[in-house]
Structure 1
């Protein structure tokens, strides 16, 4: 097997797969070194939303970056299908945030107003609806729903098909995908030498760290910073039933195959992926209040997963000054941002730079001293 590449992407999750495919399309020889399913892979816990609403409070650049990706998604889904013959079932007919109290509704409206009211933001369209309006648009919604917000930009897809399509697209683009290859050391002279756990070395002119939580360990090896932490989320999946929820809610969605997914939790639990039954119960009760018919469904799967979060919750994209050719990319919205990663971020990395929009996401923002 070859040991020399133009570009090595470390990490084969949603971020790494999107970047590798996009870089390879620039006629570079690309290798993906992936720790494999033993890793704390956030990709296996995604809720499969393509989502604009509420993104970007206190960072207008993130609202705009998300907006760009949401608008790129139809073309990205079409490209994946053309390259892999896999339909990721993208539906962008809008999405809802639902409120079960007046206080919750006020908070939802406040978030939308704060995001769109920021200087430099490209405002996203949204509507504020009362409970009766919600029930007219979502006939299965229960009487406890007092209202909500709706944006026509939002949507969802089939998360299992997406991950399969992204990896099949790697092969179609000529990427050398190597699972079970954990990088333990990165050395640099005029190029990069990556030492693999258990033996072996890979050399590359450029590298991209897209290893999720492991970026915190790898980034300092190339003069970068990625102070990410795990945040646990829980997911419930029910049996398959006849379609009743064609437009997703942020915390409840029905897949194209008929199962219902429920996900609405955030826990600071370290690296534990244990299921929290108490939180699962709260999630289930809220989902039943929103859609009473869910109460009759059998649960077929429950699991917990670890999100990848920076200190302020926003992505980190950086290019090393001390190790030219080394990049880092990390975020917690790997599905929503996959389109912009593949179509915008990756081609720029392939040419040795970051796009202008990415400058706001440097980790240097996290180290600026605050003064009164």
Structure 2
């Protein structure tokens, strides 16, 4: 390969792009991250902070296995980022709880997890009735039917994680360029010439991690990005005494004591606003699960757009027509950050593609 200005150009400075960029830079690759503007649509702004395995893979068990591989890497990954950045990420892995408000919901969760466990015994779970759940979380509501618990799950601050990735990346010699939306990518000198409108640079390889922006970028290098926005709304409360050790899918207590409330999904196009109906629904559900929240104040609410493929699973692919150009897109940027940094990067550098990823080509949608 000819010598280029950079070994890798990573397009997109969110959780996916920065995890990959840091993984490349710490392995000695001269790496530049080209990011969008502050006003760009960013999934990281709405991330709930779950490192979640339970239930992943119901359509394809390899997704659950890939998520588990990442969760197992997270303790060392978090420690490395904290050392490199001097930040506390608020990471913990106490296991996660998926609360069921009625018996039918509990049965549905159990059936799904039982099937996944039959495929891979590492995808473990426990069924908790109302009494057993209350032993772990005494503040749970009386009307709750029960829950399923998985030791594989955990949580972390997504914003501190992203900040730590920036600091670690820069510490290893990486170059981050904000306000540099890519206008064109062309083959040049055995690599790629990338034009941001303000600057033209060359890199031996390019990795597209721009979320919804990949829809416009991927065709430039012979790839497709079958992604669409799915809005999620999140509420954050004032700080509350510690009561919720375990993250749940809709309520999570942060290391600082505030609570994140969420779990909405809306097809609203590019509208990332907040609506009273969804805010009220999220709040009612949280109070049903944990009545002590009835008098807790909400201090902020926002919406953000998730990056979703038609089956909600990732796409990892190298271009057949433009070798050296890759796409990495998923909506589980926190859960999969450790795997992206430690496992996916090897493939980008020329090692064999992880066998767990053999399903995650965009061609699965061409039917």
- Normalised by the length of structure 2, the TM-score is 0.96
Residues 279-299 of structure 1 show CA distances to partners (whole Å, capped at 9, x for unaligned) of 111111010010001111111
The DSSP-based 3-state class of the residue aligned with 2:183 is strand
Structure 1, unmatched stretches of 5+, are none
Q: How does 1:233-244 map to 2 (within 5 A)?
A: 233-244=232-243
2:26 touches 2:169 (CA, 8 Å); kept in 1?
A: no
1:318 touches 1:354 (CA, 8 Å); kept in 2?
A: no
- For the structure 1 residues 173 and 36, does the alpha-carbon distance in structure 2 shift closer, same or farther, using more than 3 Å as the test? farther
The DSSP-based 3-state class of the residue aligned with 1:64 is helix
2:115 match: 114
The DSSP-based 3-state class of the residue aligned with 1:360 is coil
1:16 match: 17
1:83 match: 84
Count of matched residue pairs: 363
- Normalised by the length of structure 1, the TM-score is 0.95
Runs (4+) off by over 4 Å: none
Shift of 1:357: 2.6
The DSSP-based 3-state class of the residue aligned with 1:69 is helix
Q: How does 1:267-278 map to 2 (within 5 A)?
A: 267-278=266-277
Residues 236-280 of structure 1 show CA distances to partners (whole Å, capped at 9, x for unaligned) of 000011111111111101100000110110000000011121011
Q: For 1:352 and 1:188, how far apart are their aligned partners in 2?
A: 23
1:255 match: 254
Q: For 2:115 and 2:86, how far apart are their aligned partners in 1?
A: 41
Residues 22-64 of structure 1 show CA distances to partners (whole Å, capped at 9, x for unaligned) of 0112211100000032111001110001111110112111111
1:139 match: 138
Residues 320-340 of structure 1 show CA distances to partners (whole Å, capped at 9, x for unaligned) of 111010000000000000000
2:244 touches 2:252 (CA, 8 Å); kept in 1?
A: yes
The DSSP-based 3-state class of the residue aligned with 2:279 is helix
Q: For 1:86 and 1:353, how far apart are their aligned partners in 2?
A: 34
Structure 2, unmatched stretches of 5+, are none
Instruction: Work out whether 1:44 is the aligned partner of 2:42.
Output: no
Give the RMSD, CA atoms, in angstroms: 1.3
Q: How does 1:62-211 map to 2 (within 5 A)?
A: 62-118=63-119, 121-189=120-188, 190-197=190-197, 199-211=198-210
Q: For 1:116 and 1:356, how far apart are their aligned partners in 2?
A: 20
Instruction: Work out whether 1:232 is the aligned partner of 2:231.
Output: yes
- For the structure 1 residues 237 and 263, does the alpha-carbon distance in structure 2 shift closer, same or farther, using more than 3 Å as the test? same
1:26 touches 1:347 (CA, 8 Å); kept in 2?
A: no
Q: For 1:223 and 1:100, how far apart are their aligned partners in 2?
A: 47
